Amino acid sequence: MSVDPLPVIARGLILDSEFTSCRGTVMDANPDMPEEMAGRIVEEALKFVAACAANPATGLAPSRIVDEGWHALILHTAMYAELCDRLGSFVHHFPGYDPTNYDPPIIDRTRDLITALGYSPDPELWGPPSDETLVSVAAQCQHAPDCTIVIIPKPKPKG
């Protein structure tokens, strides 16, 4: 299966109505969060999922803030499955329950692969988990270094 080229804006990976719903999920989990911030978080999560799907053998991880958006995407199960299918690999979530767990080289690698796809990572949302001066999130997991995301791609059909 060939994967269509990625849109220039990660938000274009899903329908506007799906984006709005995911943004609402982030806001529901974080009642004091402004809508604009919740949208930024969902957009970064879309970039993260795209990078994971495009680099299935590479251990990647979201920042704690971006993980909040990833959780919102995953909760929309049908949309998330369709998104991953369009991207070519299902990106599984392996929770890391230590919110202080942070490995800068993994985050740097993730941001570099997001950039390689043509997206611009939002630097404010890819910081260490202790940096809650920008935004505090409900997600209590941090995915590095013991639980980086490695995707096993679907076998290609014969023929």
Three-state secondary structure of 33-49: CCHHHHHHHHHHHHHHH
Kindly list the domain boundaries of the chain, sorted by start residue: 13-125
d(CA 51, CA 45): 10
Place of tokens 């919110």: 99
Res 148: pLDDT: 43
Give the contacts of 6 (CB within 8 A, at least 6 positions apart).
13, 50, 117, 118, 119
89 versus 155: the higher-pLDDT residue is 89
What is the C-alpha to C-alpha distance for residues 139 and 151, in angstroms, rounded to an integer?
22
> How far apart are alpha carbons 70 and 81 in whole angstroms?
13
Confidence at residue 94, expressed as pLDDT on a 0 to 100 scale: 79
For residue 16, give the H/E element and its range: helix 16-29
Gap between the Cα atoms of 144 and 102, Å rounded: 5
Q: Is the pLDDT of residue 152 over 70?
A: no
**pLDDT tens digits, 33-71:** 999 999 999 999 999 999 999 998 788 999 889 999 999
